[in-house]
Amino acid sequence: MADRKAFHIVARHTARALSVVLLAAGIGTAMSPGSQAWARGCATLDIVIARGTVEPGYLGAAIGDPLYAVLSAQLPVDTSAHRVEYPADLLVATSISDGTRAMAGHLIDRAAACPDQRFVLVGYSQGAVVTHGVLGSAAIPGGWSLPHELSSRIVAVLLFGDPLRLVGGTVPPLYTDRTANYCAAGDPVCAGGVFPAAHGSYEWAFAAAAGQVSARL
């Protein structure tokens, strides 16, 4: 089991990156909620999704809902989806810490219940920061992290609009070759751009993300 750590952002660059995430709270999307999906039974592949700041939708209207529709249709294995239950609100001081606890806890529980199940981790905006924390990124030195012995169960990591990308934050080397980090041109959160609408426009990346996952199955 992962040990709970006190969540403190101590790195100067991380503090700057998380301040950028605050911008995402005001960006949002006007999309309507997509189709709902729940993790049931022991599907071959469980898609675990941490939505963005105040993002509507069940898995997330901008990323999670439409991305899961593409993955479930294109991947050659049966899938389930899980919504990481956390505030996704930077007015809640513990939001990111809560997210790492919820994501890591789900992975640990499902790995025990379904010994052959593998996982895809998806993080959008603030959810990407949560995912970094679960993987043990040096840029997020607190929260809950995934036990090392479960690392082989992670098929792929898909990050969208990642605030840590703006300051050079990366996933640990163990996960580099299975991580795709998508950043739209002009996205102020991950690219320092000046087009807020770009932060909610990632449909162009979904087919590539499905290919990234499929290639690792």
Among candidate residues 11, 47, 25, the one with its CA nearest the CA of residue 95: 25
Tokens of 178: 């299975």
Residue 62: Cβ-neighbour burial (10 angstroms; 0-12, 13-18, 19+): buried
Tell me the mean pLDDT in the region 38-56. 89
Q: Rg for the chain (alpha carbons), in Å?
A: 16
At 189-202, the pLDDT tens digits run: 999 999 999 999 99
At 110-167, the pLDDT tens digits run: 999 999 999 999 999 999 999 999 999 988 877 799 999 999 999 999 999 999 999 9
Question: What pLDDT shows up at residue 6?
Answer: 29
End-to-end CA gap in the chain: 26
Question: What pLDDT shows up at residue 40?
Answer: 58
| pTM metric for this prediction | 0.83
* Close Cβ partners of 30 (under 8 Å, ≥ 6 residues apart): none
Rounded to 5°, the CA angle 199-173-145 comes to 75
Tell me the mean pLDDT in the region 95-99. 95
Question: What pLDDT shows up at residue 7?
Answer: 29
Q: Which is more confidently placed, 77 or 24?
A: 77
- The proportion of the chain whose per-residue pLDDT surpasses 70, expressed as a percent, equals 82
Please report where in the chains the tokens 């069940």 appear, as a residue: 58
Q: Do 17 and 191 contact (CB within 8 A), yes or no?
A: no
